[in-house]
């Protein structure tokens, strides 16, 4: 229930809601102010905040419901607070880079502050019920990087609404009524990802809303260098159409509470019910503390602009609106402001204590080992071990690195003639071992799926053959295997350029669109990064996507999304968010610069977190797909381009046999030399 949707609301309830919004705005602003101070005072390395966007976000939060998704960026702290997804302590835990998932559930210290996410899996890796929570895809730092999967998150609602096969997937959707809410800065709309995503959303007609916070700057660079006509809503006008083809566009002033409520409600209702994409151009946005803690905006904003930002500060304007409409007295509002100040301060202290206490405990444990030694260190007449321990004690707020390096130094300096040398060394080794294990979990875990749903855990199942085996072209093995898989997994969809109507450029999906329908086997535009984004968004929402990049060489268009978003997703949420995507492509024909299909070096290091599978023939390729569909890992599978017409023996257990991951296939055994290779050269 909200004030602008319920005319029968009593004045008391109305007032309560307005004042609660006022409180959240003030609390959020105080967090930003204190956050900046913490960085400038040296307790955190970097901070980026949501000041100036508080009012629009308390309103967005009213229409963001259970089951909905967010795909946003680093300005959204107020929205997260107002939605109950972020506590003030968690805000500071992010700022300090707290790696304890209990204190910092959004990102476990693996990315910058104000990077949010909600879990889509339980601790055992099974899906959570997404309809009982508000969902947020894990933020990433490259600006506009949130756009490709924004398309996929919205596209999932379309599939859930229109595919009868998905009617039972009630943990993910209620008839496709879920909206994906995106957010982006004005300057980031200059990125190609933005335009590609808007076009895709308009073509697909999906319930995807995007808020453009237009503060007129991208760090120091003003709009005249960023956006044609200096207005994103003006240049988007060609997309505007209300007859089932385009997008809706709303322009709203950042400081106008009543207008924000009215227009956001209207736009989101239309988006949700009719599956029309919506752009909310939020104009006249301010950034009172400047872009981030790395600089100060006084360097590039004129005195007039700075004064205007004060006059149009949304919280100040909100206060005037409350007073003008006699909703509350100045005294009541000041009390709320004070309460926000106190709450922010208290949260900061609690978060700092939570962050530093475990580190202090480990420091004390190390010092205790040293102090309880009974020997006197006589060597060189200097108690080096004691000095190192003492120095460590003096550090007011030690970080883990301080303690580790002290422990290692102490170990080196234990005297050769020390009477308890062995025992001391033993205890120090134990301390180090315990802390190394802890550090591994803290900093290095969950790059790939760990546990039962790992691709490495899927048991091999050998292909079986008729006697004598039937020999058919390789592409038919893939086609018949996909047929089995589409029948087996009701939530499997395949999409890409030329995949649908003609069944793929190499006929590996021949006839499948006809059999399973346009939404299961789907043609897309030529837009590799949003094809992948479609996959990521679908996978986050429980659909099994296979996305095709037509040729391996063209994966470069999707490489940013693949490397920054998909490959790091599990890691940057410390295992709390999964999106198992199968990316299929073809390469290794070795003809010319393009269509050579061998840019292997570009993927080997840049997509760690996503397996790279290079089958030597189509039997192997199909077996790899069968394996991947039983796991939660993502993988890139590069089919050998020259193999589609070559004849292979047809397995009779298509859709069932599985090629194990991480296990070399031994083709010929011998004793003199080992030849390790991959792809078609090894096709016997």
Residues forming contacts to ligand TPP in the complex (CB under 6 A) are 75, 141-143, 185-188, 213, 215, 217-219, 291
**Residue 227 interacting partner from Mg ion, ligand TPP, none (CB closer than 5 to 8 Å by kind):** none
Instruction: Single out the catalytic residue among 528, 548, 639, 648.
Output: 528
Interface ranges with Mg ion (CB under 5 A): 185-187, 215, 217
Name the token pair of 494: 């395949």
**Residue 188 interacting partner from Mg ion, ligand TPP, none (CB closer than 5 to 8 Å by kind):** ligand TPP
Query: Which residue, 215 or 283, has its beta carbon nearer to Mg ion?
Result: 215
Smallest separation (angstroms) from Mg ion to the CB of 142: 15
Query: Which residue, 234 or 471, has its beta carbon nearer to ligand TPP?
Result: 234
Which residue has the closest beta carbon to ligand TPP?
185
Task: Say what angle helices 54-63 and 11-40 make with each other, to 10 degrees.
Answer: 130
Name the token pair of 255: 């400081």
Smallest separation (angstroms) from ligand TPP to the CB of 70: 16
Smallest separation (angstroms) from Mg ion to the CB of 36: 18
**Residue 141 interacting partner from ligand TPP, Mg ion, none (CB closer than 5 to 8 Å by kind):** ligand TPP
Residue 569 near residue 562 (C-beta atoms within 8 A): no
DSSP state for residue 187 in the 8-state scheme: G
Distance of CA 404 to the CA centre of its chain: 31
Smallest separation (angstroms) from ligand TPP to the CB of 414: 47
State the sign of the Cα–Cα–Cα–Cα dihedral 565, 568, 574, 576.
positive
Query: Which residue, 157 or 287, has its beta carbon nearer to Mg ion?
Result: 287
The closest alpha carbon to 144, from 232, 259, 255, belongs to 232
Distance of CA 286 to the CA centre of its chain: 26
Instruction: Single out the catalytic residue among 413, 595, 630, 656.
Output: 595
Query: Which residue, 122 or 296, has its beta carbon nearer to ligand TPP?
Result: 296
Query: Which residue, 86 or 458, has its beta carbon nearer to ligand TPP?
Result: 86
Peptide bond into 468 cis (omega under 30): yes
- Full strand arrangement of the beta sheet holding 582-587: 521-523, 492-496, 544-548, 582-587, 635-640, 611-613
Query: Which residue, 189 or 522, has its beta carbon nearer to Mg ion?
Result: 189
How do strand 278-283 and strand 217-218 relate by DSSP bridges? unpaired
Q: What is the SS3 assignment for 148?
A: helix
Smallest separation (angstroms) from ligand TPP to the CB of 595: 29
Active site residue 297: no
Residue with structure tokens 């419901």? 65
Measure the CA–CA gap between 645 and 475, rounded to whole angstroms: 6
Query: Which residue, 272 or 291, has its beta carbon nearer to ligand TPP?
Result: 291
**Residue 256 interacting partner from Mg ion, ligand TPP, none (CB closer than 5 to 8 Å by kind):** none
Smallest separation (angstroms) from ligand TPP to the CB of 141: 5
Measure the CA–CA gap between 571 and 323, rounded to whole angstroms: 48
**Residue 632 interacting partner from ligand TPP, Mg ion, none (CB closer than 5 to 8 Å by kind):** none
Smallest separation (angstroms) from ligand TPP to the CB of 235: 15
- Cα–Cα distance list, 316 to 213, 301, 326, 337 (Å): 18, 20, 15, 12
Residue with structure tokens 């599956």? 275
**Residue 342 interacting partner from ligand TPP, Mg ion, none (CB closer than 5 to 8 Å by kind):** none
Active site residue 595: yes
User: Can you give the C-alpha Rg of the chain in angstroms?
Assistant: 29
Measure the CA–CA gap between 76 and 69, rounded to whole angstroms: 13
**Residue 430 interacting partner from ligand TPP, Mg ion, none (CB closer than 5 to 8 Å by kind):** none
Dihedral in degrees, nearest 10, Cα atoms 308, 310, 316, 321: -10
Residues known to be catalytic: 528, 595
């Amino acid at each position: 229930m909200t004030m602008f949707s319920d005319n029968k609301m009593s004045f008391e309830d109305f007032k309560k809601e307005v004042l609660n919004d006022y409180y959240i705005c003030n609390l959020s602003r105080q967090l930003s102010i204190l956050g900046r101070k913490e960085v400038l005072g040296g307790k955190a390395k970097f901070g980026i905040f949501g000041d100036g966007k508080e009012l629009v976000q308390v309103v967005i939060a009213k229409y963001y419901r259970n089951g909905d998704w967010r795909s946003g960026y680093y300005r959204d702290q107020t929205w997260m607070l107002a939605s109950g997804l972020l506590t003030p302590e968690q805000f500071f835990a992010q700022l300090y880079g707290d790696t304890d998932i209990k204190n910092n559930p959004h990102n476990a210290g693996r990315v910058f502050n104000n990077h949010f996410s909600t879990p889509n899996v339980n601790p055992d890796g099974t899906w959570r019920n997404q309809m009982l929570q508000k969902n947020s895809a894990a933020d990433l730092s490259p600006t506009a990087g949130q756009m490709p999967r924004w398309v996929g998150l919205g596209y999932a609602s379309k599939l859930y609404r229109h595919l009868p096969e998905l009617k039972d997937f009630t943990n993910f959707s209620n008839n496709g009524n879920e909206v994906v809410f995106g957010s982006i800065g004005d300057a980031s709309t200059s990125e190609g990802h933005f335009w590609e995503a808007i076009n895709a959303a308009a073509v697909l007609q999906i319930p995807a809303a995007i808020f453009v916070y237009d503060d007129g700057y991208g760090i120091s660079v003003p709009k005249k260098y960023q956006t044609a006509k200096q207005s994103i809503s003006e240049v988007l006008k060609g997309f505007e159409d209300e007859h089932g083809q385009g997008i809706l566009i709303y322009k709203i002033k950042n400081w106008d509470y009543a207008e924000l409520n009215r227009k956001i409600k209207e736009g989101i209702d239309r988006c949700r019910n009719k599956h029309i994409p919506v752009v909310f151009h939020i104009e006249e946005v301010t950034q009172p503390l400047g872009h981030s803690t790395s600089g100060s905006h006084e360097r590039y904003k004129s005195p007039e602009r700075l004064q205007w930002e004060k006059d149009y500060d949304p919280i100040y304007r909100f206060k005037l609106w409350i007073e003008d409409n006699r909703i509350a007295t100045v005294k009541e509002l000041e009390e709320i402001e004070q309460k926000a100040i106190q709450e922010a301060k208290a949260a900061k202290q609690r978060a700092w204590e939570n962050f530093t206490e475990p580190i202090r405990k480990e420091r004390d444990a190390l010092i205790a080992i040293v102090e309880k030694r009974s020997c006197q260190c006589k060597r060189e007449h200097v108690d080096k071990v004691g000095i190192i321990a003492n120095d460590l004690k003096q550090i007011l707020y030690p970080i883990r690195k301080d303690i580790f390096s002290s422990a290692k130094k102490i170990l080196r300096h234990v005297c050769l003639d020390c009477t308890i040398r062995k025992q001391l060394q033993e205890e120090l080794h134990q301390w180090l071992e315990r802390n190394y294990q802890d550090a591994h979990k803290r900093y290095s875990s969950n790059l790939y799926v760990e546990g039962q749903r790992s691709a490495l855990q899927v048991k091999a199942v050998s292909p079986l053959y008729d006697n004598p085996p039937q020999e058919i072209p390789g592409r038919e093995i893939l086609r018949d295997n996909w047929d089995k898989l589409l029948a087996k997994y009701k939530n499997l969809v395949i999409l890409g350029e030329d995949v649908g109507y003609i069944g793929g450029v190499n006929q590996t999906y021949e006839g499948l669109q006809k059999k399973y329908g346009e939404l299961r086997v789907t043609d897309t535009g030529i837009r590799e990064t949003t094809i992948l984004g479609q996959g990521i968004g679908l996978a986050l929402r429980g659909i099994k996507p296979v996305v095709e990049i037509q040729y391996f060489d063209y994966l470069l268009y999707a490489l940013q999304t693949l490397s920054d978003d998909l490959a790091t997703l599990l890691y940057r949420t410390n295992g709390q968010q999964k999106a198992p995507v199968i990316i299929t492509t073809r390469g290794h024909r070795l003809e010319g610069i393009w269509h050579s299909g061998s840019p292997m070096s570009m993927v080997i290091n840049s997509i760690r977190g996503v397996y790279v599978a290079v089958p030597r023939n189509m039997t192997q390729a199909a077996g790899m797909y069968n394996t991947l569909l039983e796991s939660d890992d993502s993988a890139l599978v590069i089919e050998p381009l020259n193999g589609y017409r070559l004849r292979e023996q047809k397995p009779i257990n298509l859709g069932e046999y599985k090629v194990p991951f991480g296990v070399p296939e031994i083709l010929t055994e011998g004793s003199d030399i080992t030849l390790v290779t991959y792809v078609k050269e090894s096709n016997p």
